[in-house]
């Protein structure tokens, strides 16, 4: 029996790499559902190649185009936000890979969990916004959440075979991004072209900017808390510019386990999709002789404020991380549209955190309202500045 995967965000960086994994292992995986927002051409091409039962194009204006292109295949086409959410509930889905970007991942993930589908989670924003809700729902519905993010996959791989051995702490590695070692004076004038040039990974625009500001590492600290049930003081971050050691776990006897390899997201994607089994691959192998020095540095929290902010909101709990996530999404978009500078991203987050009402025990509708209020506030703040 093939494992039937629904890929949410199939036209993105993670989505297309997941399809490469499926293409290389056609006896093991099948595609049940593909979804995208705007990239109708690629979605059509993917649907013709992988023959899912259902596809969803988020942008309703593109429905006719996708529907016409797929009319001679037995593929059901839907469009719009509600279809993006409900499509995960179909009976013949075994696993949902959440590879869309941003807050938009939250509701489809909730629906998938409630429908009892295992999750391969790339969309870290879902756990950042509502980690408590998502992990408790997963427990209640006996659903597994397998990490796709490379650092969390590394931790997950280090935990294999450890049974109930407690984690003393984890160490998340960070490449440091394109501006490692730079000061605030330098960062004040950097362009989006510079920020989009990640040294080691090729990824979507939003996560690439998050990597440059170290917000990505901050989001990953929060993601790790929820995935592995840790306290803030059990989560360390270390800068490792070569991105060979993908993260580490320290146990109570002092032993540290690391997971290593050349940077390639297909490995964590296939580990999540086929856990607990490892799939044979032809990915290029790491060779120690090619990397005679793997180096490690302390992250610069004064220059890269967003990582410090993430630790603060982790301690604070409630809807604080939801505020940070929404403010960051708006600020990154504004930076990509040349409306604010690089350092302005942190300013938008800090001011949003100060202004938006804190809620200690948020419900789902509190998260929805917090997200909306923060987006409105952050957008207005940027408008005023422009
Ligand atoms: P991309 O920007 O490359 O792809 C995003 C995908 O989501 C596209 O298919 C896009 O559709 C779709 N999408 C965008 N907005 C919406 C929306 N509002 N509703 C529904 N679908 C939408 O992102 P990445 O693949 O880089 O990242 C995806 C997620 O995985 C992010 O949460 C990221 O943090 C995480 N991640 C990514 C890594 C990577 O290496 N790329 C590594 C670790 C985690 P379309 O293009 O058709 O508009
Ligand atoms: Mg990562």
Whose Cα sits closest to atom 42 in ligand 1?
149
- The preferred substitution site among 204, 262, 269 for testing ligand 1, maximizing ligand atoms within 8 Å of CB, is 204
Give the ligand whose atoms come closest to the C-alpha of residue 38: 1
Q: Compute the residue count for the chain.
A: 386
Is the pLDDT confidence value at 186 over 80?
A: yes
**Fold for domain 3-147?**
Rossmann fold (3.40.50)
Mean pLDDT value of segment 193-215: 95
Spatial distance between the Cα atoms of 300 and 83, rounded to a whole number of angstroms: 43
Give residue 212's pLDDT. Answer: 97
**Beta strands 145-147; 54-57: pairing state:** unpaired
Give the residue among 26, 19, 64, 61 at the shortest CA–CA distance from 42.
19
Whose Cα sits closest to atom 4 in ligand 1?
12
CA of 162 to the centre of ligand 1 (A): 32
Give the residue among 37, 27, 184 at the shortest CA–CA distance from 101.
37
**Beta strands 118-121; 95-98: pairing state:** parallel
Regarding the beta carbon of 338 and ligand 1, being less than 6 Å apart is answered no
CA of 39 to the centre of ligand 1 (A): 12
Query: How far apart, in Å, are the Cα atoms of 44 and each of 19, 59, 147, 247, 354?
Result: 14, 14, 28, 37, 44
Is the pLDDT confidence value at 32 over 70?
A: yes
Q: What is the pLDDT of residues 34-54, one digit of tens each?
A: 999 999 999 999 999 999 999
Q: What element of type H or E holds 120?
A: strand 118-121
Spatial distance between the Cα atoms of 155 and 249, rounded to a whole number of angstroms: 6
> Starting at the edge strand that comes first in sequence, how are the strands of the sheet with 29-36 ordered?
76-79, 54-57, 29-36, 3-8, 95-98, 118-121, 145-147
Give the ligand whose atoms come closest to the C-alpha of residue 269: 1
Q: At what angle do helices 205-213 and 215-228 cross, to 10 degrees?
A: 100
Please give the mean pLDDT across all residues of the chain: 97
Regarding the beta carbon of 107 and ligand 1, being less than 6 Å apart is answered no
Give the ligand whose atoms come closest to the C-alpha of residue 152: 2
Backbone φ and ψ for 266, nearest 5 degrees, come out as -65, -30
Q: What is the pLDDT of residues 228-252, one digit of tens each?
A: 999 999 999 999 999 999 999 999 9
CA of 207 to the centre of ligand 2 (A): 9
Cα dihedral 83, 84, 87, 88 sign: negative
Give residue 386's pLDDT. Answer: 64
CA of 318 to the centre of ligand 2 (A): 24
Regarding the beta carbon of 38 and ligand 1, being less than 6 Å apart is answered yes
Q: What band does 384 get if pLDDT is binned at 50, 70 and 90?
A: confident
CA of 12 to the centre of ligand 1 (A): 5
Domain with CATH 1.10.1740.10 in the chain: 317-386
CA of 68 to the centre of ligand 2 (A): 38
Question: Which residues fall within 8 angstroms of residue 44, CB to CB, at 6 or more apart?
Answer: 65, 66, 69, 70
Q: What is the pLDDT of residues 92-119, one digit of tens each?
A: 999 999 999 999 999 999 999 999 999 9
Contact 222, 314 (CB under 8 A): yes
Query: How far apart, in Å, are the Cα atoms of 312 and each of 36, 75, 218, 320?
Result: 34, 47, 10, 9
Contact 272, 153 (CB under 8 A): yes
Regarding the beta carbon of 214 and ligand 1, being less than 6 Å apart is answered no
Regarding the beta carbon of 120 and ligand 1, being less than 6 Å apart is answered no
Contact 89, 115 (CB under 8 A): yes
Domain with CATH 3.40.50.720 in the chain: 3-147
Task: Give start and end residues of each alpha helix (H) in 57-123.
Answer: 63-69, 81-86, 106-114
Is the pLDDT confidence value at 334 over 80?
A: yes
Contact 246, 217 (CB under 8 A): no
Is the pLDDT confidence value at 153 over 80?
A: yes
Is the pLDDT confidence value at 385 over 80?
A: no
Give the Cβ contact number of residue 64 at 10 Å: 13
Give residue 251's pLDDT. Answer: 98
Give the residue among 80, 10, 13, 78 at the shortest CA–CA distance from 50.
10
Q: What is the pLDDT of residues 299-319, one digit of tens each?
A: 999 999 999 999 999 999 999
Architecture in CATH of 317-386 = Orthogonal Bundle (1.10)
Is the pLDDT confidence value at 331 over 70?
A: yes
Regarding the beta carbon of 123 and ligand 1, being less than 6 Å apart is answered yes
Q: What is the pLDDT of residues 126-137, one digit of tens each?
A: 999 999 999 999
Cα 220-371-223 angle, rounded to 5 deg: 15
Q: What is the pLDDT of residues 248-289, one digit of tens each?
A: 999 999 999 999 999 999 999 999 999 999 999 999 999 999
Question: Which residues fall within 8 angstroms of residue 6, CB to CB, at 6 or more apart?
Answer: 32, 33, 34, 35, 87, 88, 90, 93, 95, 96, 97, 112, 117
Query: DSSP state, 297?
Result: B
Give the residue among 204, 287, 285 at the shortest CA–CA distance from 11.
204
Regarding the beta carbon of 152 and ligand 1, being less than 6 Å apart is answered no
CA of 310 to the centre of ligand 2 (A): 15
Question: Which residues fall within 8 angstroms of residue 163, CB to CB, at 6 or more apart?
Answer: none
Regarding the beta carbon of 104 and ligand 1, being less than 6 Å apart is answered yes
- The preferred substitution site among 56, 99, 153 for testing ligand 1, maximizing ligand atoms within 8 Å of CB, is 99
Give residue 11's pLDDT. Answer: 98
CA of 9 to the centre of ligand 1 (A): 6
- The preferred substitution site among 10, 11, 12, 310 for testing ligand 1, maximizing ligand atoms within 8 Å of CB, is 12
């Amino acid at each position: 029996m093939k494992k039937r995967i629904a890929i949410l965000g199939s036209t993105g960086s993670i989505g297309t790499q997941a399809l490469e994994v499926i293409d290389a292992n056609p006896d093991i995986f099948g595609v049940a559902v593909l979804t995208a927002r705007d990239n109708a051409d690629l979605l059509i091409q993917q649907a013709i190649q992988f023959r899912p039962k259902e596809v969803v194009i988020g942008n309703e204006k593109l429905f006719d185009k996708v529907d016409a292109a797929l009319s001679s295949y037995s593929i059901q086409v839907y469009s719009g936000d509600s279809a993006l959410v409900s499509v995960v509930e179909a009976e013949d889905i075994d696993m949902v890979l959440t590879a869309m970007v941003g807050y938009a991942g939250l509701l489809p993930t909730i629906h998938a969990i409630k429908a009892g589908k295992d999750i391969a989670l790339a969309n870290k924003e879902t756990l950042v916004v509502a980690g408590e809700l998502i992990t408790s729902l997963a427990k209640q519905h006996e659903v597994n959440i397998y990490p796709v993010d490379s650092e969390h996959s590394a931790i997950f791989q280090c935990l294999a075979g450890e049974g109930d051995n407690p984690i003393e702490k984890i160490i998340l590695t960070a490449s440091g991004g394109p501006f490692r070692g730079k000061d605030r004076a330098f960062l004040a004038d950097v362009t989006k072209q510079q920020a989009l040039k990640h040294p080691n990974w090729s990824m979507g625009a939003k996560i690439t900017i998050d990597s440059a500001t170290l917000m990505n590492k901050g989001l990953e600290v929060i993601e790790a808390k929820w995935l592995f049930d840790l306290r803030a003081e059990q989560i360390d971050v270390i800068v490792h510019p070569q991105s060979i050691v993908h993260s580490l776990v320290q146990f109570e006897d002092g032993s540290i386990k690391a997971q290593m390899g050349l940077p390639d997201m297909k490995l964590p994607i296939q580990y999540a999709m086929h856990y607990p089994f490892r799939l044979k691959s032809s990915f290029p192998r790491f060779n120690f002789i090619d990397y005679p020095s793997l180096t490690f540095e302390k992250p610069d929290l004064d220059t890269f404020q967003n990582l410090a902010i993430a630790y603060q909101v982790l301690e604070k709990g409630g809807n604080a991380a939801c505020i940070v996530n929404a403010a960051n999404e708006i600020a990154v978009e504004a930076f990509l549209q040349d409306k604010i500078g690089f350092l302005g991203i942190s300013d938008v987050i800090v001011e949003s955190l100060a202004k938006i009402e804190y809620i200690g025990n948020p419900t789902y509708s509190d998260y929805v309202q917090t997200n909306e209020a923060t987006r409105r506030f952050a957008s207005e703040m940027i408008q005023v500045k422009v």
